[in-house]
Amino acid sequence: MLKFFRIASVLEGVSYLIILCVTLGFIDRAYVFNIGMTHGALFVLYFVLSLLASHKQGWSVVVWLLVLLAAFIPFAFIPVEMFLQKELRRSKVLAS
């Protein structure tokens, strides 16, 4: 579950940066609909997987809210990725 959430987190973060590139004028506005729909679908996937991962990992509500808040801040997917890598290592140690 955590591996899927990591992938969704990175994809959602990159799609958010692409949306910002459209806003800043680096990408033509003709692609707004396609990029927006893709980003929206990835955000919903991120939200659902964050709930599932939070439940499975036993995160507090505060940790889950911080992970969710990261979806609204550019480049915040990087610290989330680092946190998820740490959680994945912790899960592997506990499983051993």
The backbone region for 25, taken as left when phi is positive above 0, alpha when psi lies in -120 to 50, beta otherwise, is: left
Domain residue spans of the chain: 2-95
pLDDT in tens, 25-79: 888 888 899 999 999 999 999 999 999 999 999 999 999 999 999 999 999 999 9
What pLDDT score does 22 carry?
87
Residue 32, classed as helix, strand or coil, is: helix
What's the pTM value of the predicted model, to 2 decimals? 0.89
CA distance 85 to 46: 16
Identify whether the C-beta of residue 15 lies closer than 8 Å to the C-beta of residue 35.
yes
Listed residue (62, 61, 58) closest to 87, CA to CA = 58
Q: What is the mean pLDDT of residues 85-90?
A: 91
What pLDDT score does 31 carry?
87
